[in-house]
Amino acid sequence: MSIFNVGFDRQGTAVQVRFQKGGRSDLGPELDAIKAKRPLVLTTPEQVDQGEALLDTLAGRAAGLYTRATMHTPVDITRDALETVKKSKADCVIAIGGGSTIGLGKAIAYHTDLPQIVLPTTYAGSEATPVLGQTENGVKSTLKSERVQPEAILYDAELVRSLPVPMSVTSGLNAMAHAVEALYARDANRLSSELALSGLRAFVTGLPVVVSSPDDLDAREDTLFGAWTCGAVLAQVGMALHHKLCHTLGGTLNLPHAATHAIILPHATAYNEAAAPEKLAPLAAILGSDTAGGGLFDFAGKLGAPTDLKSLGVAERDLDRVADLAVQNPYWNPVAIERRAIRALLQNAYDGVRPETGVTS
């Protein structure tokens, strides 16, 4: 078991992080630390069993179970959950799940200031960040606030052992995207870059083991460490083109979050690599490739990840609309975000073409 404190929540208290196989059976330390007596457990509809099992371990201490957490954190679901919080008189939330459930917990905390305990079941890493993405009327927006930073995170490798291999892969690539963009972020620094590379190494070495031996708890814990590291770096620096494209695609077309990240990552990386070759060279070396963008594409393909937007049901006619939206209110990026180049990038991602660094049109 490993327990350490890192970062700070909105009260300036260190966020508690625990790595322990089977640790979900005793959340007493986390609950006692925030003086909570009536936690509301959050899950998606698909993870009700995990939520109910957690209720059993809480031995009557829970205020209830809310099971409607949804991808991209729709505002209407948050409003519904807030009503449940009010009626149940919950004094904290426990989110068990991936980005959908963790996002809902953050949204509740943003509106109520209730403390959060998070048990991740994927590698998305959003639990380590003060960032919340929400969707309303088909548009996804993000905000950054210490109010949404969880107070405690428990990484239990047993919770991801049953995560299907395809989802493990796309979730891991989603986490890696945070670290990749951190390498060329405008506010990158020595610490953020070292954290990013540490997380990337953990996934590049750990994910192939997970694919070949899904029950390997040591490999699962290694990749959970990568998830935390990649999430922690996301909390420190700004994101760029990759995240803008994924938020636009996901919010507009309601695409699966992790798979979208997996497909777009090599292309966004290649788009920026010509302007930041020295910053991405360590990633290319980790991947054993001549380029970071091409190496990420090859790595994803070897793991069996989707590599084209067509496989997600995207229609080619959607690409023009996505390109138009992606150039509106752009994030800072090391390369100018131009509509023609973005449309060409999306076409390559749609067709599943291996990206070439610097080729954008």
Give the predicted TM-score (pTM) of the model: 0.86
Q: How would you classify the pairing of strands 152-155 and 116-120?
A: parallel
Instruction: Select 165-351's CATH number: 1.20.210.10, 1.20.1090.10, 3.40.50.720, 2.40.30.30.
Output: 1.20.1090.10
Contact 45, 68 (CB under 8 A): yes
Place of tokens 């208290």: 13
**Domain 2-161, CATH:** 3.40.50.1970
Q: What is the pLDDT along the chain (361 residues), one digit of tens a residue?
A: 655 555 444 444 578 999 999 999 999 999 999 999 999 999 999 999 999 999 999 988 899 999 999 998 999 999 999 999 999 999 999 999 999 999 999 999 999 999 999 999 999 888 998 889 999 988 888 898 999 999 999 999 999 999 999 999 999 999 999 999 999 999 999 999 999 999 999 999 999 999 999 999 999 999 999 999 999 998 889 999 999 999 999 989 999 989 999 999 999 999 999 999 999 999 999 999 999 999 999 999 999 999 999 999 999 999 999 999 999 988 999 999 999 999 999 999 999 999 987 644 4
Which CA distances in Å does 300 have to 47, 104, 164, 207, 314?
Answer: 26, 29, 16, 10, 19
User: Domain limits of the chain?
Assistant: 2-161, 165-351
